[in-house]
């Protein structure tokens, strides 16, 4: 078992301070700015996030402005990043945080306090508490898992709770080095994984940890960099046949709060039916994907303006003017379904 606090942490931080990238969320230790960046960076690359982050922060420069906004406004500025439940949770947490700050006068500073809010998972809470407030806790994202697995020579099923707990303890041990700022330690680990200790073809000769790295010492075999960490088994794609209804009235389209399809749960979508299939449907107009859902869209027949088959409660139904679709409906699949239906009806 590796020593509790690695001896190379100072070397890692010194390397980071010399090569770190200039990123917009690194300009301050504002917990709000750090929080937004960490949520956006989940499932998305740094290069892709930067323009969205700049746009979002221009519109919502403070926690107060985000809390005061409507969820539709937040979704509009999130559009393109995907995983829209993140934006909804972010908005709910912003409102709760703003209320808490009004009562206590300060932003929660520990990861345990932050975990009480819907927009904070374990990783996000630890990232904000350590990067903004210097709490000595480690972060555990894909980059950090890869670095620790290779340095320790650990062949673990890291996606399982018991193994993640062990890896979290290792990340915590790295962040415990009192000679260094935990913000620098955690960011150094993430930076190393993103730029040097990459999934494929890592630049081991440039790595400040190569002399302590078990994977580098082995070079080949089961403990080599190319073999670590273990690959997570892929989640099986589900095939769904979606038949949306497109109802127009005075230049507006009818949408409902999704309570029938497993994809885009809680979003404003077209009413209709969604059926799981074992094979690809033979008839469809569009194909899209949302997380592990492979969606085949069959649109209404030509010149068919579907009737309203069911009437949900008023708060679960809305009519969106076609010219406002992009602003109000962030999912490109829904917009494509509406646009394609309109094109079919004019042919």
Q: Which residues are catalytic?
A: 38
Residue 126's closest CA among 88, 177, 61, 182? 182
Query: How far is 338 from 344, CA to CA, in rounded Å?
Result: 10
Buried b (16+ CB within 10 A) or exposed e, 90-110: bbbbbbebbebeeeeeebbee
Query: How far is 173 from 269, CA to CA, in rounded Å?
Result: 46
């Amino acid at each position: 078992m590796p020593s509790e606090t690695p001896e190379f942490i100072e070397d890692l931080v010194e390397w980071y301070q010399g090569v770190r990238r200039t990123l917009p969320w690194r300009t301050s230790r504002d917990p709000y700015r750090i929080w937004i960046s960490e949520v956006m960076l989940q499932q998305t690359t740094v290069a892709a996030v930067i323009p969205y982050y700049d746009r979002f922060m221009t519109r919502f420069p403070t926690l107060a402005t985000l809390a005061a906004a409507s969820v539709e406004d937040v979704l509009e500025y999130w559009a393109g990043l995907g995983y829209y439940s993140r934006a909804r949770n972010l908005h709910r947490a912003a409102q709760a945080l703003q209320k808490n700050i009004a009562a206590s006068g300060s932003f929660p500073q520990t990861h345990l306090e932050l975990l009480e809010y819907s927009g904070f998972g374990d990783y996000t809470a630890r990232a904000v508490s350590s990067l903004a407030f210097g709490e000595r806790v480690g972060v555990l994202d894909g980059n950090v898992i890869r670095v620790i697995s290779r340095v320790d020579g650990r062949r673990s099923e890291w996606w399982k709770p018991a193994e993640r707990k062990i890896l979290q303890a290792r990340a915590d041990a790295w962040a415990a080095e009192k000679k260094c700022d935990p913000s620098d330690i955690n960011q150094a680990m993430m930076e190393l994984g993103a730029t040097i200790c990459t999934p494929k073809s890592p630049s081991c000769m440039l790595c400040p940890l190569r002399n302590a790295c078990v994977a580098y010492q082995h070079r080949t075999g089961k403990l080599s960099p190319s073999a670590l960490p273990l690959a997570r088994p892929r989640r099986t794609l589900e095939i769904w046949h979606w038949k949306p209804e497109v109802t127009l009235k005075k230049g507006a389209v009818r949408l409902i709060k999704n309570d029938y399809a497993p994809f885009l749960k809680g979003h404003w979508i077209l009413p209709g039916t969604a059926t799981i299939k074992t094979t690809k449907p033979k008839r469809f107009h569009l194909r899209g994907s949302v997380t592990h859902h492979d969606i085949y869209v069959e649109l209404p027949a030509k010149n068919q303006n579907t009737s309203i088959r069911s009437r949900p409660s008023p708060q679960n139904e809305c009519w969106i003017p076609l010219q406002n679709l992009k602003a109000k409906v962030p999912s490109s699949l829904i917009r494509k379904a509406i646009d394609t239906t309109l094109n079919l009806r004019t042919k």
